[in-house]
Chain A
Amino acid sequence: MGTSRTVRTYSWLALFLALRGGGNLCLAWGTRRLPETLAANPLVYLRSLFDPFVATGVILLIVALLARLALLSVADLSFVLPMTAIGYLVAALLGRVILHEAVSPQRWLAVILIFAGAAVVSSTPHDTTGEPEKP
């Protein structure tokens, strides 16, 4: 497994986690500022897109989807699934630190389990299917 490929894998992973964390934070922040409650009416959702925080959140999450696609080009799906679950840890930390949300001990335990699982998976080779064909 080449070092540059490993660097690329972890670069895409870091980018994905940052984008998803930032996107979710913007969405949470933006939707809490909205004057109306999100309901079954699709027009309310459309109107919410005009809020700068909600719009930024949606854009960041779309770019996060692209980063995840790129990550799948260099790593196994069975590697990506648990590694991207680190996003739950990022969400809990951002919620606690920036949004001052209460995080229960049970939720911290869940976050620790996810982080431990991801750490175990990170010790396995990230690509076991061999060299991909060139574009």
Chain B
Amino acid sequence: MTWVLVSVMTVATALSDLLQSYEMKRAGAQSVGARGMGRLLRMIVERHYLLLSIACLAVSFFSFMALVQSAPLSFAVPASAASFILETVAAGILLKERIGPRRAGGALLVLCGIALLGK
């Protein structure tokens, strides 16, 4: 059951972030400030992919809660970092982002740090 929860959480997080990134890039640069925030709230209701991303976020959140109920936190936190790898790879393939060696190296350092946090 533990690995099922980890898989659900990882896939749901990755899906949520990919949908958010795709839809927000389509929406264009958002202005900083109260008006920008109001516009973002409206956007969540109007754009179906953003709504779907919030649903995925909820699935990820509840999977994490179920995971920490049965597995140690020292396992759950680094396990949740698995989505980091999946998302970076998917961003390169699906969103056509250029991930050079420097960005990949930096992301790897961050991943090591997150894994160490959970120990």
Specify which of A67, A77, A80 lies most central, judged by the most chain B CB atoms within 10 Å of its CB. A77
Q: Judge whether B109 and A78 touch: CB under 8 Å.
A: no
Does B27 reach chain A (CB closer than 8 Å)?
A: yes
Tell me whether A37 is interfacial, beta carbon within 8 Å: no
Q: Which of A68, A124, A132 contacts B27 (CB 8 A)?
A: A132
Q: Across the interface, do A81 and B107 meet the contact criterion of CB distance under 8 Å? A: yes
- What secondary structure prevails in chain B residues at the interface with A? helix
The answer to whether A119 touches B106 (Cβ under 8 A) is yes
B20 interfacial contact with A, CB 8 Å: yes
Q: Is the CB of B106 within 8 A of A81?
A: no
Instruction: Give CA–CA (A82, B69) in the complex, Å.
Output: 27
- Check B97 against A78 for contact (C-beta < 8 Å): yes
Contact B17 A107 (CB under 8 A): no
Binds B, one of A21-29, A48-56, A93-101, A108-116: A108-116
Q: A residues engaging B (CB < 8 A)?
A: 5, 8, 11-12, 15, 40, 63, 66-70, 72-74, 76-82, 85, 88, 106-107, 109-121, 123-125, 128-129, 132-135
A124 & B100 in contact (Cβ 8 Å cutoff): yes
- Size of the B side of the interface (Cβ < 8 Å), in residues, is 47
Partner of B87, one of A77, A112, A114, A124: A77
Whether B114 contacts A88 by the Cβ 8 Å rule is: yes
Q: Are A118 and B110 within 8 A (Cβ)?
A: yes
- A72-B24, A132-B25 given; A82·B32 CB < 8 A: no
CB-based nearest B residue for A125: B98
**Cβ A117 vs Cβ B109 within 8 A:** yes
Q: Which of B16-53 contact A (CB under 8 A)?
A: 17-18, 20-21, 24-32, 36-37, 40-41, 43-44, 50
Q: Tell me the chain B residues, 69-113 only, with Cβ under 8 Å from chain A.
A: 69, 84, 87-88, 91-92, 95-100, 102-103, 105-113
Across-interface contacts of B55 in A (CB, < 8 A) = none
Q: Which residues of A contact B103 (CB under 8 A)?
A: 78-79, 82, 120-121, 124
A73 touches B30 (CB 8 A): yes
Instruction: Give Cα A69–Cα B32 distance, bound, in whole angstroms.
Output: 12
Nearest A residue to B21, CB-CB: A77
